[in-house]
Chain A
Amino acid sequence: MTTVANDRNTDLRVIGKSLPRVDAVGKLIGLTAYADDIELPGTLFCKLLRSHHPHARVLSIDTSAALAMEGVVAVITGVDLPIKYGIMPTSQDEHALENEKVRFVGDPVAAVAAVDEETALAACRVIEVVYEPLEAIESIEHALLPPTDEPIHDYAGPGNIHRMGALEFGEVDEGFAKSSFIREDVFFYEGNTHLPMEQHSAIATYVGDQLTLWSSTQNPHYVHRALSRVFDMPMGHIRVVAAPHGGGFGGKSDPFSHEMAVSKLAMITGRPVKCTLTREEVFYVHRGRHPVLMWVRTGVSQDGKILAMHFRTALDGGAYGSYGPASMLYTGALQTTTYNIPAYRFEGVRVFTNKAPCGPKRGHGTPQPRFALELHLDKIAESIGLDPVELRRRNYVKPYSRTINHLRITSCGIEEVTDQVINASRYHERKKQLGHGMGFAVSSYMCGAGLPIYWNKLPHSECIIQVNRGGVSLYCGATDIGQGSDTVLATVAAEQLGLWPTDIRIVSGDTGLTPVDLGSYSSRVTFMAGNAALQAAKEMRDILVEVVAEKMECSPGDVMVGEGKIGELSFEDAALLAQERLGVLTTRGSYTPPRDIGGKYKAAGVGPSPAYSYSAAVVDLNADPYSGEIRLNKVWIAHDIGRSINSLAVKGQVEGGVYMGLSEAMMEGQLYRNGLHKQPSMLDYKSFTFLEMPEVETFLVDTVDLEGPYGAKEAGQGPLLPVIPAVVSAVYDALGVWVDEVPITPDKIMRALDARAKGREGRYGPKKFPQISYPPIVKVPPFDATSSAF
């Protein structure tokens, strides 16, 4: 790993160092108690009965045989949980247990609490549900047709259309008219799932009107709200604790049926109730990557400058709304944060189908258009005889600029990340050789969404630091889902207080004990909670310094902080002295993104972020011209991190993103057959093993963002994005055929080779984009700094 530092700030003692994470030891020695490890006396075990039909009316549910079984304590159905919920205010379309109709195979209809899991499962099997099957919608094209039976939902529409958007910035028709070259392409990105190591698990207690839920959730803040809504209970009587996490990647960002069911069953039985999903159920719970069909048309000038772009997307949302309205807009929002597009038109639609609901997965809504955009630019470059890297460079956004869709760009290392991977990989020196290829792509991602998921004016993140008995505790609602947010918070505070990260006790992700943080989604935690922690830590440092200055009879400016000391005193002595004088010490910090980072048009809430990270990748591979099999040789990845808080943790995130990107580029698919998930098991849902993973060389580029904590930006999602198009581009470089569809599997490559051998276009991918009645285009006026009030 190489760090390219633009800034020579050597004062920092712990920020940026390569250190083990603060939670590493507990995980290594097996003492970390994940939700499923929580054992409480008298715990009952819950299983959900899930629909066997993709789309059906529920005519009746008879639970009497289950209730009569020995060991069964309670059985609930949708009658017991009538209030709907959903992560977004506009998509309150889920019942914890469906009572009237089921919308995908796996939709829960009943829940059993029993003395053990076997009994609960056996009881589920004797619950009698009478269904009346309805026509199942299995594809985007199918969902666009008028339904023969009835739409999947009774809101939104027409038919099975969930959400549409149509926006135009700048003069698109004019841009095309001026273009000397125009190209259109169609792409398809298959859906895939998160595959966290830990299956979702939740355990609830209900004691004296107080409901407590421990859950493997990324977003305790939103689960808290959903529970309050579903149980019509005051927020103050509900506590949601994000248990230590075995991986989220977006898959644990929604409130879920099993969380509602164990809560309700705990209320009914008065006993703790736990539900841990099977791996198969995790595939049904899903909320993963949307399958997206894309059409893109771009006009460029003679010298390769983009003059206009028109981007259309159609997302297969599965059975429920989830984050869908945002997912749809994200397929159009971030094309402009890498390339200066002076005229841009976006039309998007999300449809309902009878499949497991899609939602946010690492990169939320942006890997699909990034894949299409990067390959589209490769094709344009080839068409106009320009080097693909050069074409991109001619269109790169500039630091501290404003995109046509009103997004504020601040620090931007797109040139630097490009230089790093192009030079290190010797991309331009490669020899043209059948079967060997290299591909390049760039991308950009947000450091946290500019707006919360529901409208409110609470800070996006808050921290409390308490100094008590000579020690430091930091309280923050942020949730460490394995991305290392506890380590980030501890490191930020340690730097200010002259301590080591492991000196800081972190209490996080607990709505009963910690102040608000919106959650671990949209790569927001380092930037937002990091800033809140920084503010609280600075204030605490000032208090301690002042007390010590008084004792030392010097000015606060002469008190050095570091190496575990405040001036002449050890940290502990200084802390005890301060507590003697002032009582227990607490400071607060909070963060809310600035208001001028985006526009104020309808749908402007999706895309703005206080900063954007930039990533570039080169993939080197061999592709077999007979079999289409790919052997990856190496990946070079450069990431504009702003500044690392912990460079080891950043590197882990970058490499993890590369791994996930490669696996979904080449193998993964949430596939369906006859309305049923084709392969809900880890043996048959193919994802990379160690053996598929090539060498990765990581470059961290420091651009030191002016608003990030110590200049830091995100690392959790961005580095996945360029990897996927770079793989497909490298296959084209090796074999001369395009596979305009992800995953790029050997059989698809073979079909593209076959097509070329038969004299047809050497391509595999969607032939056309469907006719869609998008709404009338909303022409958005140019950004006006004086009126921006988003």
Chain B
Amino acid sequence: MLRLPRFSYLRPGSVAEAAQVLSEYGSRAMVMAGGTDLLPKMKRGQIEPEVVISLGHLDELRQIRAVSDGGFEIGACVTLAEVVSSSELRAAYPGYVRAAALVSSPALRNAGTIGGNLCVDTRCNYYDESYEWRKALGFCMKKDGDICRVAPASATCRAIASSDTAPAAMSMQATVVLVGPKGMREVPVASLYQDDGQFYMTKAADEILVSLRMPDPGRWKSSYVKVRNRGSIDFPLAGVAVALQLSGPVVDDCRIIITAVGPQPLDVSHAAQPLLGNRIDDTILEEVAAEAAKPARPLDNADLSYVWRKRMTRRAIEQAVREAAEVA
């Protein structure tokens, strides 16, 4: 079988110590929570840290806390399964919890964490195989090479944003807490990502994502729709998170985030304009979905044809808006 390469494994006693150690090793180290993304990628030589700093055992990262402003703070090492089984979170953020429930398979949700899912590597079928395979194909700029294999003219890597929970958190305007050598800072989830599949996160390499802060949901109803080939295991071929405020049947406000159609999740809420002040109907929804799906740029680097994925993005947008409106 594929074996893990040799590496040093560190088990710090606190977040502060973890941050300290990470800043010492810099880019030679990776932090690990559930390990469900990192360890297979280390086996395939896609990520080659000399040092792995474990976070999963730290109790301070494993709490779900209700906070005074009506929101919740979720520690980065809370597992996806724990989020799914939290009735409070499900009541407040049905879209986010749905997204967590649709990540991978039951076994991997028991190990995988919410912090890990926000940081999950971008995916591309020119990249997600073993070292030997990538050598046979020719390496790409994301690892060991210098061009983008799916879009050779592109100056940046076009690997696909593949976190299900990121768009759902963005739709609630959630923030994350980062701890680094310069201390702690809080940034919107929306600003965590950028349009580059290789350097897909804006956080510094020596910063640790320690928690997700979900604001008071207030009147926001939410949903998440995932398009994929199979009913389990698969990463999204398209993902749509919607948050909606209604007065009776009339839409007051609507946020739409789409993912897995490019290197970063995209806020396309501007497209929801025609819905505002109106009831949800087929004609408006079709118009909104067509506009919202415009920035989707699926390429031939995932399962099924990109034409199908683009069209399914529209379908998923319509479905997500309807589902958000139906949430009790």
A residues apposed to B, CB below 8 Å: 50, 52-53, 105, 117-118, 121, 199, 276, 278-280, 626-628, 667, 674, 676-681, 683-684, 686, 688-692, 745-747, 750
In contact, B136 and A746 (Cβ under 8 angstroms): no
| A residues near B312, Cβ cutoff 8 Å | 627
Q: How far is the CA of A560 from the CA of B230 in the complex (A)?
A: 56
A249 → B minimal CB distance (Å): 20
| A residues near B186, Cβ cutoff 8 Å | none
In contact, A689 and B232 (Cβ under 8 angstroms): yes
In contact, B136 and A686 (Cβ under 8 angstroms): no
| B residues near A678, Cβ cutoff 8 Å | 125
Tell me the B153-177 residues at the A interface (CB within 8 Å).
none
Tell me the B281-320 residues at the A interface (CB within 8 Å).
303-305, 307-308, 311-312, 315
| B residues near A679, Cβ cutoff 8 Å | 125, 129
Those 7 A-B pairs whose CB atoms lie nearest each other, nearest first? A691-B231, A747-B308, A52-B136, A747-B305, A747-B304, A105-B136, A689-B232
B59 at the interface (CB under 8 A from A): no
Q: How far is the CA of A679 from the CA of B128 in the complex (A)?
A: 9
A747 partner, pick from B6, B133, B307, beta carbons under 8 A: B307
| B residues near A276, Cβ cutoff 8 Å | 1
Main SS class of interface, B: loop
- Give the residue name and chain of the A residue nearest to B136 (CB): A52
A676 partner, pick from B136, B234, B315, beta carbons under 8 A: B136
Q: How far is the CA of A639 from the CA of B306 in the complex (A)?
A: 40
- Give the residue name and chain of the A residue nearest to B5 (CB): A118
Main SS class of interface, A: loop
A275 → B minimal CB distance (Å): 12
A280 partner, pick from B3, B133, B229, beta carbons under 8 A: B133
Given the known A-B contacts A686-B230, A688-B230, are A118 and B3 also in contact in the complex, defined by CB atoms under 8 Å?
Answer: yes
In contact, A674 and B137 (Cβ under 8 angstroms): yes
B residues apposed to A, CB below 8 Å: 1-3, 5-6, 125, 128-130, 132-133, 135-137, 229-234, 303-305, 307-308, 311-312, 315
A278 partner, pick from B2, B307, B308, B311, beta carbons under 8 A: B2
Given the known A-B contacts A626-B315, A627-B315, A747-B304, are A676 and B133 also in contact in the complex, defined by CB atoms under 8 Å?
Answer: yes
In contact, B230 and A680 (Cβ under 8 angstroms): no
B133 partner, pick from A199, A680, A692, beta carbons under 8 A: A680
A107 → B minimal CB distance (Å): 11
A750 partner, pick from B6, B132, B233, B311, beta carbons under 8 A: B311
19 A-B residue pairs with CB within 8 Å = A52-B132, A117-B3, A118-B3, A118-B5, A278-B130, A279-B1, A279-B2, A280-B132, A667-B230, A676-B137, A683-B234, A684-B125, A686-B234, A689-B230, A691-B232, A692-B230, A692-B231, A746-B308, A747-B305
In contact, A745 and B304 (Cβ under 8 angstroms): yes
In contact, A280 and B125 (Cβ under 8 angstroms): no
B73 → A minimal CB distance (Å): 32
A198 → B minimal CB distance (Å): 11
B305 → A minimal CB distance (Å): 4
- Give the residue name and chain of the B residue nearest to A682 (CB): B233
Q: How far is the CA of A747 from the CA of B6 in the complex (A)?
A: 42
Q: How far is the CA of A313 from the CA of B125 in the complex (A)?
A: 32
Given the known A-B contacts A52-B132, A105-B136, A674-B137, are A691 and B230 also in contact in the complex, defined by CB atoms under 8 Å?
Answer: yes
In contact, B315 and A52 (Cβ under 8 angstroms): no
Which of A117, A626, A747 gathers most chain B CB within 10 Å? A747
B248 → A minimal CB distance (Å): 29
In contact, B129 and A746 (Cβ under 8 angstroms): no
Which of A53, A627, A676, A683 gathers most chain B CB within 10 Å? A683
Q: A117-B1, A280-B130, A627-B315 are in contact. List 10 more A-B contacts (CB 8 A).
A: A278-B1, A627-B308, A628-B308, A678-B125, A680-B129, A680-B133, A686-B229, A689-B230, A747-B305, A747-B308
Q: How far is the CA of A676 from the CA of B126 in the complex (A)?
A: 11
Q: How far is the CA of A627 from the CA of B132 in the complex (A)?
A: 36
Q: How far is the CA of A53 from the CA of B2 in the complex (A)?
A: 21
B130 → A minimal CB distance (Å): 6
In contact, A683 and B233 (Cβ under 8 angstroms): yes
Q: How far is the CA of A679 from the CA of B229 in the complex (A)?
A: 15
| B residues near A105, Cβ cutoff 8 Å | 136
| B residues near A688, Cβ cutoff 8 Å | 230
B112 → A minimal CB distance (Å): 14
A739 → B minimal CB distance (Å): 13
- Give the residue name and chain of the A residue nearest to B131 (CB): A125
| B residues near A689, Cβ cutoff 8 Å | 230-233
| B residues near A52, Cβ cutoff 8 Å | 132, 135-136
Q: How far is the CA of A363 from the CA of B33 in the complex (A)?
A: 45
| B residues near A50, Cβ cutoff 8 Å | 132
B1 partner, pick from A199, A677, A745, beta carbons under 8 A: A199
Q: How far is the CA of A628 from the CA of B307 in the complex (A)?
A: 13
B293 → A minimal CB distance (Å): 14
A746 partner, pick from B6, B128, B133, B304, beta carbons under 8 A: B304
Q: How far is the CA of A676 from the CA of B138 in the complex (A)?
A: 10
| B residues near A746, Cβ cutoff 8 Å | 304, 308
A195 → B minimal CB distance (Å): 14
| A residues near B1, Cβ cutoff 8 Å | 117, 199, 276, 278-279
